[in-house]
Amino acid sequence: MLTGSVLLLFPVVAFVASFVFWPGLLIKAYNWFWRRRLGMTVRFSHVGSFRFCYSTRGTPGGAPSLLLLHGFSANKDMWLPVVQFLPQQLHVVCLDLPGHDGTSRHQTDDFSIEGQVSRIHQFVHSVGLKHFHLIGTSMGGNLAGVYAARFPQDLCSVSLVCPAGLEPPEDTEFVKRLREMEVQKQQNQDLSAESIALIPTTVPQLQDMLDLCSPVFVLQMMKGLLQNRLPHNPFYRHLFECISTEGSRHSLQENLGHITVPVQVVWGQQDQVLHVSGASVIAAALPHSQVALLDDCGHSVALERPRKLASVICSFLSTQEVTNRDVEKKKSC
């Protein structure tokens, strides 16, 4: 009887110990469980010595496949809240971008926007994706837009969620501070004590980042997130420098005129990282784009409004399907 009680208590003790001492491990276990619950399978694809890691559900069929690109310092699992609201029959692929989580991180790699887009193109061909719908958020939105400009033959359409890579008419306080740091760097001022809000090294700094980007997290979850992020901070800083160069900073804006596939723009009205006025920049350059501005939503749309994001994406895809059918009817007349 005592042995049975001990066995029953063991999972509880393990959970409490993980929550207290190894919260980072608990977060990874939670994501593993959630992937299994949603039917997402983690797979790998290789191009030479480079390894891509991605999670996927379903198989290519009548509807376009979805390829989802996460933001700066995130990973494929950030899309799980959205995936749970997508139709089961859709073929969904969530990619770890170069250097992130299970995808290779080579020191000699080009982590500029153009360099990452080239890697994504390699991945697309390595897994045989064709005529798919591309979705990207934040840095991933910048990548998705540039990909649409460079490789329109691969896509049927693209969704840009709070994308980076623009020069909006207004700036957030976050972007203003980055500009000040850039000026100080050009003046050879010592910025060693400065921290970039998106690369936290302490729990208070992580709280500041979450205040900018995400919903509320309990303290122990924040400790877990920090545990998982800290070993990768040197890479995140290098990546941030790569995407902040002149050649990458406004890549999306510079490529808007080359995008020919249908475009959807989704933006949180209360975005504190990238100002919502960026949506007007895309709308002006691409008058036929569909724009959805979400109330009570900040930068992390996939976490804050996952059901709504899934809904507007599916609505956009349905509209494109109807439009394509109408075009085909006119051609046959």
Regarding pTM above 0.95, the answer is no
With CA atoms as reference, report the closest residue to 117 among 138, 152, 91, 143: 143
Measure the N-to-C terminal CA separation of the chain; round to a whole number of Å: 79
pLDDT of residue 215: 60
Element (H, E) at 290: strand 290-294
Measure the CA–CA gap between 262 and 251, rounded to whole angstroms.
19
Measure the CA–CA gap between 150 and 316, rounded to whole angstroms.
22
pLDDT of residue 87: 96
Contact in structure between 68 and 97 (CB atoms under 8 Å): no
pLDDT of residue 121: 98
DSSP H stretches of helix in the chain = 2-21, 23-38, 80-83, 113-127, 139-150, 173-186, 203-213, 219-229, 233-243, 246-249, 251-255, 278-285, 301-304, 306-332
Report the catalytic residues. Answer: 138, 271, 299
Task: Give the start-to-end residue ranges of the domains of the chain.
Answer: 30-332
pLDDT of residue 31: 87
Contact in structure between 303 and 267 (CB atoms under 8 Å): no
pLDDT of residue 189: 61
Contacts of 202 (CB under 8 A, 6+ apart): 226
Could you tell me the two tokens for 147? 């990909």
Q: What is the pLDDT along the chain (333 residues), one digit of tens a residue?
A: 444 444 343 333 333 333 344 456 778 888 899 999 999 999 999 999 999 999 999 999 889 999 999 999 999 999 999 999 999 999 999 999 999 999 999 989 999 999 999 999 999 999 999 999 999 999 999 999 999 999 999 999 999 999 999 999 999 988 887 787 777 666 666 544 456 777 878 877 767 766 766 665 555 566 767 788 888 999 999 999 999 998 899 999 999 999 999 999 999 999 999 999 999 999 999 999 999 999 999 999 999 999 999 999 999 999 998 877 666 666 665
Contacts of 104 (CB under 8 A, 6+ apart): 49, 50, 51, 52, 98
Measure the CA–CA gap between 139 and 160, rounded to whole angstroms.
10
Contact in structure between 275 and 302 (CB atoms under 8 Å): no
For residue 36, the Cα-to-chain-centroid distance in whole angstroms is: 20
pLDDT of residue 293: 98
Pairing of strands 50-57, 66-69: unpaired
Name the CATH topology of 30-332: Rossmann fold (3.40.50)
Contact in structure between 172 and 194 (CB atoms under 8 Å): no
Measure the CA–CA gap between 158 and 136, rounded to whole angstroms.
8
- Per the document, the length of the chain is 333
Measure the CA–CA gap between 157 and 263, rounded to whole angstroms.
6
pLDDT of residue 228: 80
